[in-house]
Structure 1
Amino acid sequence: MKRNFFYALFSLGVCLTLGNSASAQQVDAKLPWSVRITESEMIRWPESWQLDFQPKLKWDYCHGLELQAMLDVYDTYGDQKIADYAIAYADTMIHDDGSITAYKLSEQSLDRVNSGKMLFRIYEQTKNEKYKKALDLLYSQFAVQPRNADGGFWHKKIYPNQMWLDGLYMGAPFYAEYAFRNTRPNDYADVINQFITSARHTYDPKNGLYRHACDVSRTERWADPVTGQSKHSWGRAMGWYAMALVDALDFIPKHEAGRDSVLAILNNVAVQVKRLQDPKTGGWYQVLDKSGEKGNYLESSCSAMFVYSMFKAVRMGYIDKSYLDVALKGYKGFLENFIQVDKNGLVTITRACAVAGLGGKVYRSGDYEYYINETIRDNDPKAVGPFIMACLEFERLQK
């Protein structure tokens, strides 16, 4: 309840601060959805460091998620103000020596790696060496990231022995792209092992889903005493995993040993995504293994992630083309059920879970009641970024 109060209070302050400037600016309804959402976010948050409702500078995964999507929009439609908006964040956060404001290597948190992905393109475009130094700094984290005996990365140093599906998206695509761009072929086996190991630890044979996380030491209160798994399959955790699979596969060579195992995992994810798609709305539930049950709700971030992942996986030939129907139904349903447009054309994405985790100082039990009672908010980057990418996939189809 206290967390909900502070979210509401902060959101009210943001609305009062930005309300006049946002309402004065228009978004053209004739533009593609990817551009309309991007421009809406740029109006809501005039400075890119303000994304994710931030009152101060922060280096974390949400900025990278959304700004990476915006760079995809720029690459597709070529509006320089979009590129400038993304580059402004990188320029604000990264110093000449490659150090990054609010990033501490000693934290060994995979969440801090994700925003590095956009730096590959920014370095290519600007040729500013500070971005290359920052990329090298983030890559160096993998050498010191704590691991379990089977090589699986801990999600964070403060979460010993734990693999979270979230962490696969935060680390693996960056790791694979860095290996590809810097000719480090030995790294591919490690990237592949992260996917295989996380699948082995989180797979639930009773329903074919992957649970949110696993504590291999089986000591956390949220962990099953036999399997170490958390209690449920959280929609966004599966969404992170799906996006990690399709994005990392871009950089893993086709001949690489173990790549077929990664594709097999992706194909199983696709099977489950299709099976659990809500027949009426095309969306997916906050807690996947309790889909349709009392208190559960259709959630926008996991829905956006699944739509994007299915579109891309079909386009790349990773899964059967019949899954395009799943993506199209999800895309149409998203527009109908999660999108609101105000009189000035500003686009709002509704009903996103603000945050969900396991353990921690304010202990999160990971039971059903926990997941369905976390804060729900509009325009969460974890819904906005993936849906921009889903829109771009749909728009590519139209061309």
Structure 2
Amino acid sequence: MKRSALSVAACALALAGLVGTAPAAPAAAPRTRAADDWSVALVESTTARHTPTSIGGWSYPVGLYLYGQYRTYLRTGDARYLTYVKAYVDRFVDQDGNTAQKFSSLDSMQAGRLLVILHHETGEDRYRIAARRIRERLTSYPRTSDGGFWHADTASRAHQLWSDGVYMVTPFLVEYGAEFDDEAYTDREAVEQLNTYARHLQADNGLFQHAFDESRTAAWADKETGRAPEQWCRAVGWYAMAAVDVLDATPEDGPGREELLRTVRKLAAGIARAQDPATGRWFQVVDKGGREGNWTETSCSSMFTYALSRAAEKGYVSASYREAARRGYRGVLAKISRGADGLTRLTDISIGTNVGDYAFYVARPRQTNDFHGLGAFLLMNEQLRKQG
């Protein structure tokens, strides 16, 4: 977490006098009708629908959404948004930094980004202690023979790498390292995890298979390659966002960075080729847009748009990818609207998904206002709105 990026937010919170206070009750309806600021509209709508208690348990979809809410807070300075995040996290972390979380899966680690944020914003040591539990868990966390973190420490996920998993842990790692002076480990580990996953999962077309099983025993695993059969869009999106976030946070001369840049450039080309020319969005099975039953999915379209825009802005890929990002942005904005109650509705978001075949993915239920989509939308919108 770059301290310079957060200093303005910390000052805003201090001036508001909200650190350590009880959260305000959620509004009955959005306090603004800022139709031209969809991040504010979406956050106001979501916090009107859910209190910090009712929003759900400790999970990566809620963690993703709240990280997006935090990014909106950094821009707007509306301290209610950060107070809400704090109230959510305080359900799971006591005054001594204890938490019931066992961190037995990568998914369970994603919301750890909120711990780093809250330590930076409040200075409360309990958030450092809780975040340290994730850092320490990684020292004994199971890995493949070449060092990749298993998707989960369970028999059903043993020896498996899922493209989803890198987002659940690598952004946390680099942000933890920056906040707690541990970059010597965290930067190296984050880059190497991304590179290890790419070696197993990136296909010739630049995109990623959903998963890899080193043991070749999973029902979905190819007996020769260990790879899952399909390129599910949100799994690819998770990797794309993680790679850009880690590149942003690590030194230009760091070990493994050139390999990661090559991966990102190949991935960006694959993403751009797979974009639906009619809508600007991307398909649920991303490389098979023309097949019967396939449909454009909102969360991955937000992820790809964010990743292409950010990578082009930072020079990781050619500036020409900004046009694909702009088309993606317009495509996703076509999926958000206000209902009769004035609250936002973001549609066509795939629910959480296991590894499967083509028929499995295209049959996944499509939800409105699913947290996977809300969080990805906020990250995309905060990136793209500044691009004009």
TM-score between both structures, scaled by the size of structure 1 = 0.87
Report what 1:164 is aligned to. Answer: 162
**Does the alignment pair 1:326 with 2:316?**
no
Long gaps (5+) in structure 1: 1-20, 359-365
Which of 313, 330, 351 aligns to 1:354? It is: 351
Report what 1:155 is aligned to. Answer: 151
Secondary structure of 2:116's aligned partner: helix
Check conservation: 1:168, 1:240, Cα contact below 8 A.
Answer: yes
Which of 122, 131, 141 aligns to 1:145? It is: 141
**Does the alignment pair 1:391 with 2:381?**
yes
Counterpart residue identity of residue 41, structure 1:
T
**Mapping 1:1-399, distance limit 5 Å:** 27-30=32-35, 32-45=37-50, 47-51=51-55, 54=56, 58-101=57-100, 103-105=101-103, 108-158=104-154, 159-184=157-182, 185-205=184-204, 207-336=205-334, 338-358=335-355, 366-398=356-388
Aligned pair count?
360
> How big is each residue's C-alpha offset from its partner over 1:176-225, in whole Å with a ceiling of 9 and x where there is no partner?
222233333134332222111111111222x3321000001111111000
Check conservation: 2:151, 2:162, Cα contact below 8 A.
Answer: yes
Report what 2:9 is aligned to. Answer: none
* Separation (CA, whole Å) in 2 of partners of 1:125 and 1:348: 31
Moved more, 214-223 or 250-259: 250-259
Report what 1:9 is aligned to. Answer: none
> How big is each residue's C-alpha offset from its partner over 1:329-366, in whole Å with a ceiling of 9 and x where there is no partner?
11111112x112123431111011111113xxxxxxx1
Secondary structure of 2:320's aligned partner: helix
> How big is each residue's C-alpha offset from its partner over 1:103-158, in whole Å with a ceiling of 9 and x where there is no partner?
114xx201111101122221122111111111111111211110011001100011
Secondary structure of 1:224's aligned partner: coil
* Separation (CA, whole Å) in 2 of partners of 1:179 and 1:25: 36
* Separation (CA, whole Å) in 2 of partners of 1:386 and 1:339: 13
Shift of 1:24: 5.3
* Separation (CA, whole Å) in 2 of partners of 1:59 and 1:24: 25
Check conservation: 2:191, 2:246, Cα contact below 8 A.
Answer: no
Check conservation: 1:215, 1:223, Cα contact below 8 A.
Answer: yes
* Separation (CA, whole Å) in 1 of partners of 2:76 and 2:384: 14
Shift of 1:27: 4.1
> How big is each residue's C-alpha offset from its partner over 1:223-255, in whole Å with a ceiling of 9 and x where there is no partner?
000000001000000000001101112221111
* Separation (CA, whole Å) in 2 of partners of 1:26 and 1:342: 15
Distance 1:283 1:202, change over 3 A: same
Counterpart residue identity of residue 329, structure 1:
R
TM-score between both structures, scaled by the size of structure 2 = 0.89
Counterpart residue identity of residue 302, structure 1:
C
Counterpart residue identity of residue 357, structure 1:
N
Secondary structure of 1:139's aligned partner: helix
Counterpart residue identity of residue 262, structure 1:
L
Counterpart residue identity of residue 34, structure 1:
S
Shift of 1:311: 1.6
* Separation (CA, whole Å) in 2 of partners of 1:293 and 1:23: 43
* Separation (CA, whole Å) in 2 of partners of 1:59 and 1:26: 27
* Separation (CA, whole Å) in 2 of partners of 1:323 and 1:98: 43
Check conservation: 2:120, 2:179, Cα contact below 8 A.
Answer: no
Shift of 1:284: 0.3
* Separation (CA, whole Å) in 1 of partners of 2:288 and 2:332: 20
* Separation (CA, whole Å) in 2 of partners of 1:299 and 1:176: 29
Over the matched positions of the two proteins, sequence identity in percent amounts to 36
* Separation (CA, whole Å) in 1 of partners of 2:30 and 2:197: 45
Q: CA RMSD in A?
A: 1.7
Counterpart residue identity of residue 276, structure 1:
A
Shift of 1:317: 1.8
Report what 1:362 is aligned to. Answer: none
* Separation (CA, whole Å) in 1 of partners of 2:82 and 2:290: 41
Check conservation: 2:66, 2:85, Cα contact below 8 A.
Answer: yes
Check conservation: 1:281, 1:333, Cα contact below 8 A.
Answer: yes
Secondary structure of 1:157's aligned partner: coil
* Separation (CA, whole Å) in 2 of partners of 1:368 and 1:23: 41
Distance 1:23 1:86, change over 3 A: closer
